[in-house]
């Protein structure tokens, strides 16, 4: 189904008893797959960004909950449910911002609560639900890609930030999906990938997967975005999202908000691309989104040595919030949402 991506970030092994993830911390140098079974291994893989990107985190957590449940040794359905709940709470503590993590885990628990049967049957229910989450994730990328492509023209220069591609989902990705579909139709986009400090998801991952697919991609440092916009190289900005509040404010990788403000100044459309599972109706505005603060060494260390004096303080928020007023459209698998977002989002979520 997916023509270009050969690497799926989180999937089950053939015997369906292990979670297989591609360790993204080793890219672009090494493609290494890890087989995980315990809650601790799965938690660590999400926390350390071995598997990352909002939809892929959701899929990894869903499969992870199922795989970890296989080791629960009881004949009591009640005991089984309560132990699954403990694993779910533990996995949910791995990262706070991407709502897909909670969405996928809540969906798994809701399905478990709605079914009766033996422990073996309940394990099969968890398998079924996690596979449904995986399959839907694959399908949504294609739909987002089609809607996104309808806003683009052949030959355009596109800027993206972080990685919202196949490595962040189970298929075409979100922000990169229109690029893949356009490539199939010879659109010849020129993609600029912000390197995305501090963990370089743009240069390590986005450039890696676009280049592998044969798409024209140029890596720039984050502080070059204004320059390439001013030079007229960018016709549209396409980024993913980790949580969209009910009013359209959107959390995405740190640096996205600055790119959006620049795009407004230079009259370039700013598009957010993501599945409706990334919309959190429980979060009224961006102000209520919890932003993950990560280890200071991600800033103070680089290239195997110190990049800031050891004693110096650092501040390392992993995400920022782009105010809805800077967003020209939110492109979901259900369609293209426009301002006023409170209304268009509510309508999309009701459909
Ligand atoms: O910290 P990461 O690498 O998980 O951050 C990922 C992003 O910010 C992506 O842009 C977002 O999750 C969208 S993925 C389709």
Question: Helix/strand/coil (H, E, C) string of the chain?
Answer: CCCCCCCCCEEECCCCCCEEEECHHHCCCCCCEEEECCHHHHHHHHHCCCCCCHHHHHHHHHHHHHHHHCCCCCCCHHHHHHHHHHHHHHHHCCCCCCHHHHHHHHHHHHHHHHCCCCHHHHHHHHHHHHHHHHHHHHHHHHHHHHHHHCCCCCCCEEEECCCCCHHHCCCCCCCCHHHHHHHHCCCCCEEEEECCCCCCHHHHHHHHHHHHCCCEEEEECHHHHHHHHHCCCCCEEEECCCEEECCCCEEEECCHHHHHHHHHHCCCCEEEECCHHHEECCCCCHHHCCCCECCCHHHHEECCEECCCCCCCCCCECEEEECHHHCCEEEECCEEECCCHHHHHHHHHHC
Kindly report the number of other CB atoms within 10 A of residue 271's CB atom: 23
322 lines ligand 1 (CB under 6 A): no
Share of the chain above pLDDT 70, in %: 98
174 lines ligand 1 (CB under 6 A): yes
Residue nearest to atom 10 of ligand 1 (CA): 240
95 lines ligand 1 (CB under 6 A): no
Q: Which of 237, 272, 245 is nearest to 345 (CA)?
A: 245
Mean pLDDT computed over every residue of the chain:
96
Please give the Cα distance from 285 to 258 (Å, whole number). Answer: 18
Please give the Cα distance from 56 to 140 (Å, whole number). Answer: 12
Please give the pLDDT value at position 351. Answer: 83
- Which of the four pLDDT bands, split at 50, 70 and 90, describes residue 308? very high
Ligand 1 binding pocket mutation candidate from 201, 206, 330 (most atoms within 8 A of CB): 201
Q: In the numeric block, which tokens belong to residue 229?
A: 């916009």
Please give the pLDDT value at position 1. Answer: 40
Residue 17 annotated in active site: no
Give residue 281 CA to ligand 1 midpoint distance, Å.
20
Count of alpha carbons within 13 Å of 211, Cβ hemisphere only? 13
Range with lowest mean pLDDT among 168-172, 174-178, 225-229, 288-292: 168-172
- Which of the four pLDDT bands, split at 50, 70 and 90, describes residue 6? low
Q: Which of 321, 349, 311 is nearest to 333 (CA)?
A: 349
Give residue 243 CA to ligand 1 midpoint distance, Å.
10
- Mean pLDDT of the region 154-167: 98
Tell me the per-residue pLDDT of 250-283, one tens digit each, with 9 for 90 and over. 999 999 999 999 999 999 999 999 999 999 999 9
Bond from prior residue into 299 cis (ω within 30 degrees of 0): no
- Which of the four pLDDT bands, split at 50, 70 and 90, describes residue 327? very high
Give residue 16 CA to ligand 1 midpoint distance, Å.
27
Please give the Cα distance from 295 to 102 (Å, whole number). Answer: 22
CA distances from 90 to 37, 97, 110, 174, 199 (A): 14, 15, 17, 28, 25
Considering the candidates 23, 106, 137, 242, report the single residue annotated as catalytic. Answer: 242
Q: Which of 158, 319, 133, 334 is nearest to 241 (CA)?
A: 319
- Which of the four pLDDT bands, split at 50, 70 and 90, describes residue 2? very low
Please give the Cα distance from 10 to 90 (Å, whole number). Answer: 19
Please give the pLDDT value at position 293. Answer: 97
- Mean pLDDT of the region 153-157: 98
Please give the pLDDT value at position 3. Answer: 43
Residue 185 in this model has a pLDDT that exceeds 50? yes
Please give the pLDDT value at position 7. Answer: 79
Domains (range + CATH), the chain: 10-141 (1.20.120.420), 143-350 (3.40.50.10470)
Please give the Cα distance from 163 to 48 (Å, whole number). Answer: 16
Please give the pLDDT value at position 306. Answer: 94
Please give the Cα distance from 49 to 308 (Å, whole number). Answer: 22
Ligand 1 binding pocket mutation candidate from 50, 52, 290 (most atoms within 8 A of CB): 52
- Which of the four pLDDT bands, split at 50, 70 and 90, describes residue 303? confident
Contact 36, 65 (CB under 8 A): no
241 lines ligand 1 (CB under 6 A): yes
- Mean pLDDT of the region 7-36: 95
Residue 5 in this model has a pLDDT that exceeds 90? no
- Mean pLDDT of the region 296-317: 92
Share of the chain above pLDDT 90, in %: 96
- Which of the four pLDDT bands, split at 50, 70 and 90, describes residue 238? very high
Give residue 7 CA to ligand 1 midpoint distance, Å.
17
- Which of the four pLDDT bands, split at 50, 70 and 90, describes residue 4? very low
56 lines ligand 1 (CB under 6 A): no
Nearest ligand 1 atom, CA 161 = 10
Please give the Cα distance from 117 to 286 (Å, whole number). Answer: 41
């Amino acid at each position: 189904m997916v023509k270009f991506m050969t690497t799926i970030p989180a999937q089950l092994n053939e015997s369906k008893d292990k979670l297989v993830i591609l360790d993204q911390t080793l890219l672009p140098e090494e493609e290494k797959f890890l087989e995980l079974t315990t809650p601790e291994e799965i938690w660590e893989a999400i926390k350390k960004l071995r598997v990352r990107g909002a939809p892929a985190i959701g899929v990894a957590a869903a499969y992870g909950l199922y795989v970890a449940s296989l080791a629960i040794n009881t004949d009591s359905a009640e005991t089984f449910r309560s132990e699954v709940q403990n694993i779910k709470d533990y996995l949910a503590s791995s990262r706070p911002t991407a709502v897909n993590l909670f969405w996928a885990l809540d969906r798994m628990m809701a399905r478990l609560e709605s079914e009766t049967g033996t422990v073996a049957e309940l394990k099969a229910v968890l398998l079924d639900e996690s596979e449904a989450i995986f399959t839907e994730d694959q399908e949504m990328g294609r739909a987002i890609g089609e809607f996104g492509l309808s806003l683009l023209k052949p030959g355009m220069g596109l800027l993206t930030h972080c990685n919202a591609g196949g490595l962040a989902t189970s298929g075409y990705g979100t922000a990169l999906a229109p690029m893949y579909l356009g490539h199939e139709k010879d659109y010849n986009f020129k993609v600029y990938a912000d390197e995305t400090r501090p963990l370089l998801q743009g240069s390590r991952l986005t450039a890696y997967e676009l280049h592998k697919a044969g798409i024209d991609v140029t890596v720039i440092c984050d502080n070059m975005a204004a320059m390439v916009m001013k030079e007229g190289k960018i016709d549209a900005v396409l980024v993913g999202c980790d949580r969209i509040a009910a009013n359209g404010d959107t959390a995405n990788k740190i640096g996205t908000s600055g790119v959006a403000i620049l795009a407004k100044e230079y009259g370039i459309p700013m598009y957010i691309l993501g599945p409706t599972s990334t919309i959190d109706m429980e979060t009224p505005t961006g102000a209520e989104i919890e932003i993950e603060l990560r280890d200071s060494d991600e800033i103070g260390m680089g290239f195997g040595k110190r990049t800031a004096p050891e004693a110096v303080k650092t501040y390392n928020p992993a995400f920022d919030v782009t105010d809805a007023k800077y967003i020209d459209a939110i492109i979901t698998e259900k369609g293209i949402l426009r301002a006023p977002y409170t209304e268009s989002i509510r309508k999309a979520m009701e459909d």
